[in-house]
Chains A and B, each alone.
Chain A
Amino acid sequence: MDRRKIEEKIFLFLMRISAILIVLSLILILFTIIAKGLPSLNLAMITQTPKGGYYLGKEGGILNAIMGSLFLAGGATILSMLISLPVVIYLNIYAKKNSKLSEFIRFSFDVLWGIPSIVYGAFGFTIMLFFNLRASLLAGIIVVALLILPIMSRTIDEVMRMVPAGLIETSYALGATKLETAFKVVIKQTLPGIITAILIALGRGIGDAASVLFTAGFSDYIPNSLLKPAATLPLAIFFQLLTPIPEVQERAYASAFILTAIILIISIVSRIITNRFSKNLIK
């Protein structure tokens, strides 16, 4: 066998090894979280709010953080949807295809996507100082909404770009305005993609910690108003891990398991939706 064949064999072997390593790293992460988190998980953790001295090893659970995260991410997803849907419709229906303007808009959203969440958090903090606001669920929702805005917009945009031009032209030919075409044809056509985008954004919103550190605060209670501070699951994990008490650290592992489970469920649901509902679409 000549040398170039051997070289190819060696590199193919290395490629397979790297692909396996990457899959293995994910499996290892999930395995570690399950193996360490599941044994310390109990019903009280997901049904109770922290009692006094929870962070010293006393009774209670992290229901406050679970609910806080769901409220926060849910609110942020709705808010960000209200901005990103118009953005994407403008890009795909109103703006000229491949114009300088639409290229610039996509470029800007890609750049926005790259900004780290801690910077969003610090920015949110400057805004709060400016308006003299205190850390609250509302402030957290606004900052997380800004954080997931580029993710949601670009994900929906990718789906809407795939809508066949013929379909849109047919709608125009029937006398529909662009707005009517957008809402009655294009959105219907891209609904599975939009739902997937919402779920991806929701997952990001639930998992992000750095942006809410400054803005949402922390509280032992489930927030009952937008102006109250709210605990979030990632921060609860972080704070539990910081304590020197082993039992509380165990709870951090259990909380990480809960967070991972939520993210896994969201990702599986979005995969099912993509697979099941994309069959009925006009290609």
Chain B
Amino acid sequence: MKFRFLKDKFFKHLMFMCIVFSISIVFLMLFGLFIRSLPILQQKSFSDIFLSGTWHPLRGEFGFAPFIVGTLWVTVVAMVIAIPLCLLTAIYLSEYAHRRVTVFLKPFIDLLAGIPSVVYGIWGVLAVIPLIRDYIAPLFGVRSTGYGILAGGIVLGIMVFPIIIQICVEVFQSVPKELREASLALGATKWQTIKHSVLRKALPGILAAIVLGFSRAFGETMAVLMVVGNVPKIPKSIFDCAYPLPALIANNYGEMLSVPLYDSALMLASLILLLLVLIFNILARLILIRVERSTQ
């Protein structure tokens, strides 16, 4: 009899330890990466690392500017492609589509989320790169190998479809029915209701979805690495090659231990990535919690 209760108590504490462990991973990550990036932070000035555009590990020059700019370019192109398509689809799925259409479309979106990033990369090489090289670049009078920011942006844009759509649909569904009915009762059409009432009410949630999509695109590695060209120069147009931060980390893990400060520089790159993604995620999740609360 007593043993049962003891067992219950024991497992309760054990389970709580599992939670403490899981949550502490974030702090362990921050701490571990910070310790590893200390050497470069101590030896180089802030402007040497973040504002300089020269990347010569062998000469001890580690300028992150091309990589940070490259990451931003690729991510912004991806978002420009993804945001309108995802918003329209999410409105369609939650407001207009018949239940049968929604049930039919859901597996497609889930599957899109489940495809490994390497497969996206291969698809980029096989389909997107020839498309840019043979059709899109000549259209703008540019000679391009196809590899570059636009290719990375297209592939990444498709990769973030599922996360943005799923969150937007949830947000739209959390908008109270009364709000729609009030607007419809005043004689507004369905679209006017969506435009003036639903979208306004859902705006914070939509922003959160976009931020989450942005941060997903920001940290995506393999697919981008395979199509973006990887040239450490500050890009000037979307047909230029870029070298995003995650690609830099993934591409150089092999040689980083043989060059002084190199590993420290790459760990600093990971730390920057982690910090930015954490900020984006915390902001977006806080907004979503508030959205959820306001409807309960």
Partner-B contacts on A (CB < 8 A): 4-5, 7-8, 11-12, 14-19, 21-23, 25-26, 28-29, 32-33, 36, 83-84, 86-87, 89-91, 94, 103, 105, 107-112, 114-123, 125-127, 129-130, 146, 149-150, 153, 177-180, 200, 203-204, 206-210, 213-214, 234, 237-238, 241, 252-253, 256, 259-260, 263-264, 267, 271
The answer for the CA separation of A91 and B126 in the assembled complex, in Å, is: 45
Give residues of chain B (242-260) contacting chain A, Cβ–Cβ below 8 Å: 246, 249-250, 253
- Among A11, A32, A33, A150, point to the contact of B191 (Cβ < 8 A): A11
Residues of A within 8 A of B89 (CB): 15, 18-19, 22
* Min CB gap B119→A, angstroms: 5
From B54-62, B103-111, B141-149, give the one contacting chain A: B103-111
Q: Are B119 and A123 in contact (CB under 8 A)?
A: no
> In the complex, are the beta carbons of B16 and A90 less than 8 A apart?
yes
CA distance A125 to B110 in the complex (A): 31
What residues on A are CB-neighbors of B191 within 8 Å?
4, 7-8, 11-12
Q: Are B219 and A260 in contact (CB-based, < 8 A)?
A: no
A161 to B267, CA, bound (A): 38
Residues of A within 8 A of B33 (CB): 119, 122-123, 126
B139 interface residue per 8 A CB criterion = no
User: Could you tell me the distance between the alpha carbons of A60 and B10 in the complex, rounded to whole angstroms?
Assistant: 53
- Binary interface encoding of chain B residues 129-170 relative to chain A, with 1 for a CB under 8 A from any of its CBs, else 0: 000000000000000000000000000001001000100000
Looking at chain A's contact residues, the main secondary structure is: helix
Provide the residues of chain B in CB contact with A112, threshold 8 Å. Answer: 22-23, 25-26
Say which residue of A22, A103, A210 sits within 8 Å of B112 (CB atoms): A22
Residues of A within 8 A of B183 (CB): none
5 A-B Cβ contacts within 8 A?
A83-B18, A94-B16, A115-B277, A118-B219, A238-B121
Q: Is the CB of A32 within 8 A of B15?
A: no
With contacts A83-B18, A178-B8, A209-B118 taken as known, whether A32 is within 8 angstroms of B267 at the C-beta atoms is no
Please name all residues of chain A whose beta carbon is closer than 8 Å to the beta carbon of B126 when the two chains form the complex.
Answer: 32-33, 36, 253
**Minimum-distance CB pairs A-B, first 9:** A116-B219, A207-B116, A8-B191, A15-B92, A122-B270, A114-B281, A90-B15, A86-B15, A210-B221
How many residues on chain B are close to A (CB under 8 Å)? 85
Structural contact, B221 and A116, CB atoms closer than 8 A: yes
Contact with A along B274-294 (1 / 0, CB 8 A): 100110111001100100000
CB distance from B79 to the nearest CB of A (A): 15
Distance in angstroms between the alpha carbons of A189 and B267 in the assembled complex: 44
In the bound assembly, the distance between CA atoms of A28 and B154 in angstroms comes to 13
Q: Is the CB of B270 within 8 A of A119?
A: yes
CA–CA, A69 and B97, complex, Å: 39
Choose among B16, B19, B220, B273 the residue with the greatest number of A CB atoms under 10 Å from its CB: B19
Chain A residues whose CB sits within 8 angstroms of the CB of B116 once the complex forms: 206-209, 234, 259-260, 263
B119: contacting residue among A108, A114, A256, CB under 8 A: A256
B112 touches A179 (CB 8 A): no
* Interfacial chain A residues near B28, Cβ < 8 Å: 123
Q: Give chain A residues whose Cβ lies under 8 Å from the Cβ of B88.
A: 11, 14-15, 17-19
Is A180 touching B4 in the complex (CB atoms < 8 A)?
yes
Give Cα distance in the complex from A129 to B256, angstroms. 13
Q: Which residues of A contact B16 (CB under 8 A)?
A: 90, 94
Task: Give chain B nearest CB distance to A202 CB in angstroms.
Answer: 11
Q: A4-B192, A178-B12, A210-B221 are in contact. Are A241 and B26 (CB under 8 A)?
A: no
Give the residues in chain A near B21, CB-CB below 8 Å: 83
Contact A114 B85 (CB under 8 A): no
Contact present for B7 and A179 (CB under 8 Å): yes
A125 and B253 contact, Cβ closer than 8 Å, known pairs A116-B221, A146-B25: yes
Residue of B with least CB distance to A115: B277
In the assembled complex, the CB of A216 is this many whole angstroms from the nearest CB of chain B, namely 12
Cβ contacts under 8 Å, A94 to chain B: 12, 15-16
Which residues of B lie under 8 Å from residue A256 when comparing CB positions? 118-119, 122
Q: Is the CB of A260 within 8 A of B119?
A: yes
